[in-house]
Structure 1
Amino acid sequence: MALNLSAPVGDKNRITKPDAKSGEGKFKPVKNAPADVELVRLMLKANGFANIAISKKCDAGLIKDIRSFQKNALGFKKPDGIVDPGMRTWKAGLAKLQAMIANDQKVAVYEVKEEGKTKQVEVREFEAKEKALKHEILSKANMMLGQAETWVDFCNDVEKTRQAEDGMMMAIAEFTMSTLNDDTDPPWTPILNARSEAGSLKALVNRSKPDWAKIQKQDAKATRVYNTGQKAFDKFIKARIGTASKAVFTLEVVRETSFTVIEVYATARLVATKGMNPVKAHAIAAAGTEAMKSSAGQYGEYLAGNKVTWEGAAKKVALDTMFAGAAGAAGGKLGGAFLKGVAGKVAAQLPGKMFQTFSQKSLTVFMEKVFTTTIGQEMIKNAAKEAIMLFKPLVEKGRAPNQKEFTDAVVKILSGGIMASGPMKSVSQFGSNYVANSQGFLAQKLIPRAMDSVWKGDLVKKYGADAVEEFAKKHGPKIYADIAEGLQDKVFVAYANKALESSDGTQSAKVLQKTMEEAMRKDAKLRKELTDMVEKQAEAKLKKLEKAK
């Protein structure tokens, strides 16, 4: 930076005249060129005006500071508030300006602590070590996140198989495994927690100015949660292998598949030729198909030489037929109080880490709406079918399940697979990000709009338009961000819960966030509180700046 002025800086209404005795020639017009203004501000800063803003604009505040410097440092009886190139005011301040710039050009250092000792490290060395550490932790975070994503993908595939996306027989095999051993159910909570914490660690490290204290704390937490997820997944895999090796899969795939085809065909025929309700048609087809299958099974037992009585065979065929028919009809018979009860219990079993910011009431309302949609009704129907079939052994022993047992069975089946559904993925994504997203919305949009009138109102009357305008440009964004980030999470929770309650699961995370932001925008009380907080901070800082001058 060249330490000379191209033209005078300061008050354009010059009150002084050239002094012939000092050899001064005719004064040049005051131009206030941006580069010259910035240089004068730096000169004043070097000469004790610590609170002066470094900008390229000449305002009343700068002229006042120039006059103050002329009076106090040079003894001017009539300070004109102008710095002329090469003349007394400029020459008087130049030495300290040169010293300040020379000092700033020295090698900068950081103070760091290593093994409890404080030492100074050159910026280049510090940045090199920081870069290496950042790479190391980022690699670790990516490893943990990638591994957790692999666990989640595998468990999602298991759930898809249970929903018969890979064929009916694969679904039957998965259901059989789950019935034999609860440990074969995907460990959703620990693996989703592992993915979430690894993602948080990655986000912290990826910031332009990492907070290493937070990173160190999150690194320890993410590592601990990852290890828990690893153990849970290993246990899950071992349970699947062990259960599969012990289970005797006498499902006779060809035979079972044939009966499944007959059931589907019979349902379609009853609907097409008899105009029958699909639920009723499915119940009849399921019962008839099961009767054939069960009868064939009893006949096979007889041909194999096993002891089969007419009474025992008839009882088994009747029971199998009854349960198949009941399962087939389940889809059209569930609703009302039963549906609400299931919604509440499913909501209560959602992974706490992923949904802890939502209230139980809001989650229950959301689940009730989800279960009224087409996809929700299908989930309820399939779960009810599985639950009914689970109770066959119990009924065969002479006891029917009560309402609570049936409801709990449906809830368990739903809870096992619901996290892989689209609605829950959207809500999970929304829940993980709405605090940070809402803070950004407040800092960048809502608060600045609310403050427009304040910057032009009372503050201008007290401190002047130029001072307030400059202050708003320089300090406004940081104040907005500080206010938004300083709000407690509970401030946002109420809006998030309302957004959740308005959803039936068909909305994306982005739509839910927009719904929440619109509610905040319309809340006049919230806008007023935020405006008051910003105005209070702004006035306190403006007062300090005013006193410093």
Structure 2
Amino acid sequence: MAVPKLSAPVGQSPRESEGKPVKNKGDDVLLVRRMLEANKIGPLGTSKKVDAGLLKAIGTYQKKIGFKRPDHVVDPGGRTVTALLPKFKAQVAAEEKAAKEPKLEVTFRGKKILVTQKEYDKLKAEVIKNLTPYMKSLIKNQKSCLETYQSYLDTAMIKDGVLNAVAQAIIIKAGSVKMPDNKLATRSISAAGKLERAMSSKDLKQIDEALPAAEKAINAFSDDLLRFLKEFTGSAQTTGTVLMVSSAVCFAVVGALAAPVLVTGAGMSAGSAAVVSGAGVGVLQSASQELGKHASGQKVTVWSSVQSIVIDGTIGGLTAGIGSKIPLGFCDDMAKAVAPRLASKVPFMATKQLEKFISNYIAGSGQEVIKSAIGEAIKVVGKIAKSGKAPTEKDFNDAVQSVLYSALLGGLVKNLGGFQKKWAYKNKDMLQGKILPDRFAKLAKDNKIPNTLKAKLWAEVSNKVSDETLKAGYGAVISAASGKESESQLTDMAAKAVEKDKKLQKLVDAEMLKAMKKLKIEAK
């Protein structure tokens, strides 16, 4: 079993603890994400760059294993990676086993779907279970029609008495009523018999061949008998029970599972095979579930079956095979769509920056927001479907974007807008209440100067550096925030970043010395 190994430290850079320099190589970063997820920390995505979410996850795990002061660094051979290894090795072994497990390739609606033998057997059992009541009702319908037809034949052959036979003959002749076609009756008997044998065999291939033929033959005989009864009675009333049954689109799942081709991995990684398998199984299960509606007496039309499969298939393709995590590509697409509409609400961010921020948010701490948006979008698409219009992928994406826009506007964007105002005040207070006095104390020969002169000095330096300190605070939030922070938490994050920024300190010192010289205040 080949278990990947770290080549260099990953995490906080520059590191605050002792050890080799943190390199944050792309493959190493991705490996740490996988190891943490194997230990139930995450989901963390597939980015090869270190971000705030990953650093937080490392810290969370280090606390879990007993670090009093997490350093947010994973060293090769270190305490953190040693603790992560057992569960990660088990996951790698499971993935390798899954990759070697033979898959069955099922072609359904023009798409190839990979399923394991276990998934196939479960689906097959589910399909047969759902089909059985329907097939029984189809056969029951054929027998009911045949009994009704036989009763009229018996009367015609004077089995029920001469008077009834004469009466029937008069009605048929006078009304130009044509008796049911005997050939249709014979075909329905043969087709029903084959279907019963296929049901007993529990062989999907036999069912796939027998069911369409039975539907066609039994429906043709049923239609003809109903035509005769309506003509004979002069109304829509019938003397027998005639059930009209029609094939549903979802029966294609029977054919899809009837003749699978054995493949081994299909050249896919274990992870890719799991995603393909999960999404496909979701669609097949959706179609299979529609079969049971016939037996419960619900009206199932071609459209209602398609509607269910379209909606379930869309969502299944997004979420199946990857647990609760939404694919990053979908998050990126949604962020790209809503960012331009939200940009005016967050002036300190460029549209591209906001787009990236939103994408990171909904792929990380904002998972519940995007899942909620998808849930609401399903309802919207469902309403479109019920109106008789076939919902498209664009309808679905538009619905997600609409709900996501409202959710972000009232949550994430509201917090960012509030932070912008708070940070403007906080930045001014920090400069004049702490940063400038501290730097002046270190640079001036005599700290005791008149308040009026001090006010001039503060104003002179603030005018030169406040834009840069504001930008530094914004930059810290853009790069480090997860999106779930409150206005106050974002403001504190910006303040701490500015206080630690050595480049800003040099700028403040340079502008302070210029202003002191201008106002004739002696420096040390």
TM superposition score normalised by structure 1? 0.37
- Structure number with greater CO (CA < 8 Å, separation at least 6) is 2
TM-score in terms of structure 2 length: 0.38
Q: Which has the higher helix share?
A: 1
